Amino acid sequence: MIEYAGRTYTENDCIKFYRLSEGKIYLKLQNNLYEFTGKMIELLRKLLDNEVYHISNEYDVIMKLLLEKNLISERHFLKYELNDYSYLMEYKGYKYIVNLSQGEIYQLTSSIYNILLNGCVSTLNKNDLFELRIRDIITPMQESNVKDINANTYNKRVYLINSFRCNMNCIYCFEHNKTFDIMPSDIKHQTIEYIKKLSEQNFITLVFYGGEPLLEENYAFIEDFLKLHLNNVEYEFITNGLGIDNYFSLLSKYRHQISCFTITLDGPKKIHDKRRIFRNGSFELIINNVKMLVENEFYVKLRVNLDYDNIAYLSELCEEIENKLKNYTKFFKLELHLVSCKDNSEFKQIRLIDLLQSLLKLKEYSFKITIADQFLRRIRNSFDVYVSNFMQTDFCNYYDNIVINNNGDIYHCNEAMGTNEFVIANLKDSDVYNKVNLVKEQTKKICNGCPFDIICKGKCKFENYTKNGSIDKVTCNKEEMLEVIKYLIDNGDYERLQE
C-alpha cells in the first residue's frame, strides 16, 4: 500500500491483470486497458503489498494518473483469496495451477501449492503474492469475480428468420424439418416494432439468418430492416455467401451499419463442395464473393465447421485462403467451429485434444485464426481473450440471444427453433417483453464450486436437453479439458513460478 497526500491507497479491487512478458503488465478496468512498464511496475509492487510505503515526489504524476483512472482506491488493509477460476492440480509428481479465464498454466513449488490449497493466501511472502496477483490467480476478497467479468447486460443479439428456404444441401444441416413459409407482413411489422422498442435500452446486433437470408425472395424483407437507421443497431449476415453479388448494391448502400458477414468454407474446394452441396460446386463462387466484400472493406468471418471428415484438410484450406486473400487480411479472419449433431447420439464430435494437435501443426499465416470453443480459445489466444473480455454469462450468452422465427415465435437458441419446449414467447403476446427478459437462474448443483464453470457455463442448453432431457442437466466435458492441460504440461507449455 502507498501513503499519498495523507491517505493510504491500494488497487481497485475490480481490476483484472495480465502479465504479457517480464517487463510488461496489463491492467483492465471496465474494458479499458492500461500498460504498466518500468517505474509503474515498481509502484504497482508497493500498491499490492500490505506494508505501507512512503513514496518520493517522482511518482506524483503517476499517482495522479492512477487516481484519475480509478485504478487505485483508499483502503487500510487488503486481503487476497484464490480466484474462482484458478484450478489446482497435481500431475506426475509436480504441482500446477491453471488460470482458466486466461488459459495459462503455472508450475508451483510445494510450499506455494499447499498455501493456496489450504486457503492461507495471507501467509504468502510479498514477492509470491505479487507474482500470483499479476497473473490473476489471486484476487482481493472484496471482488465479486464472476459477476464483474460477465457484465453484458445491455447487449442483445437478435436473429431474424424470414424463411428457412436454402439453396444448399449441407450434410450436417439441422433445419431439414422446418417450414419454408415466408414471414407474413403482420409479423414482420410486429418484429420491426419490437426491434425499435428493444433498441431504446439495448445495443442490438441484428442477425439475418435462415435458411439462407440472401435469397432473392428475402430482398424486400432485408431492405425494410436496413433502412430503419436505428442508432443502437448494427447488422450481421450469416450466409452461405452465394447471394452476395446479387445483394451487393443494397449492402453497399448501408455498409456503415453492417458489422460483418459470417460465411462458411468447410475445406479446400474438393472437400467443401462435397459437404456444402450446390449444383456443380460452390467453393469458387464463395471465394469470389468474399473477395468482393473484403476488397470493399466489409469484414468477413470465414467459418469452418470441423469434424473428423475434414479436419485433416485444415492446413490445405489455409493455404488456399492465403493464396487468394492474402492482400486483405485486415478484413477477414478464419473462425473454427466444431460440428455438433446434438440430436444424434451416434455422431462423434472432435475431441479438444485432437483439435489442439491439428492447430499446433498449422504454420503461421498472414490472417488471424480464432477458435469458437471457449477453452481452446483461451489456450491459443489468451491475450486476445483478455483484451476482448471474452467471458459469457452462459455457454453462448443464451439469455441475451433473441431468435424470432418466421411465425413470430421467440427463442433464446437459434438451433432449437421448432422445439416447443424452447419457445419463450410469441410477438403477439401482450407481455412479450416481460417473457423475453425473464432470466431463469440455473441451479447446477453438480457444478457448484467447479472452476471450469467459468468456461462451460453449464454447456449448450439445447445439447443438454437433447441428450439429458433438461437444459440444466449438464453434458460435462471437464475430462476433455484436463486432457488438453496435461498434454500442454507434457510438452512444456507452462511457466515455472519459483519462490
User: Distance between CA 194 and CA 432 in Å, rounded?
Assistant: 9
What pLDDT, in 10s, does the model give residues 277-331? Answer: 898 899 999 999 999 999 999 999 999 999 999 999 999 999 999 999 999 999 9
- Residue-wise DSSP of 127-171: HHHHHHHTTTSEEETT--HHHHHT--TTEEEEEEES----S-EET
Q: Which residue has the higher pLDDT, 468 or 428?
A: 428
For the cut 80, the answer to whether the pLDDT of residue 427 exceeds it is yes
pLDDT band at 224 (very low <50, low <70, confident <90, very high): very high
For the cut 80, the answer to whether the pLDDT of residue 217 exceeds it is yes
For the cut 60, the answer to whether the pLDDT of residue 150 exceeds it is no
pLDDT band at 382 (very low <50, low <70, confident <90, very high): low
**What whole-number percentage of the chain has pLDDT above 90?**
50
For the cut 50, the answer to whether the pLDDT of residue 147 exceeds it is no
For the record, the C-alpha cell of 154 comes out as 445491455
pLDDT value, residue 153: 47
Full-model pTM: 0.85
Mean pLDDT of all residues in 483-494: 94
User: Distance between CA 70 and CA 68 in Å, rounded?
Assistant: 5
pLDDT value, residue 152: 45
What pLDDT, in 10s, does the model give residues 27-77? Answer: 888 778 899 998 889 899 999 888 888 888 888 888 898 999 999 888 777
Mean pLDDT of all residues in 356-385: 83
Q: Which residue has the higher pLDDT, 419 or 225?
A: 225
pLDDT band at 414 (very low <50, low <70, confident <90, very high): confident
Sign of the Cα pseudo-torsion (389, 395, 400, 403, in order): positive
User: Distance between CA 165 and CA 213 in Å, rounded?
Assistant: 8
For the cut 70, the answer to whether the pLDDT of residue 390 exceeds it is no
Nearest CA to 77 out of 122, 138, 135 is that of 122
For the cut 90, the answer to whether the pLDDT of residue 223 exceeds it is yes
What is the average pLDDT score of the chain?
A: 86
User: Distance between CA 322 and CA 328 in Å, rounded?
Assistant: 10
Residue 491 makes CB contacts below 8 A (sequence gap 6+) with none
pLDDT value, residue 229: 87
pLDDT value, residue 177: 61
Q: Which residue has the higher pLDDT, 357 or 417?
A: 357
What pLDDT, in 10s, does the model give residues 88-143? Answer: 999 999 999 999 888 899 999 999 999 999 999 989 998 999 999 999 999 887 64
For the cut 70, the answer to whether the pLDDT of residue 345 exceeds it is no
- The answer to whether 302 touches 276, Cβ cutoff 8 Å, is no
Mean pLDDT of all residues in 368-390: 74
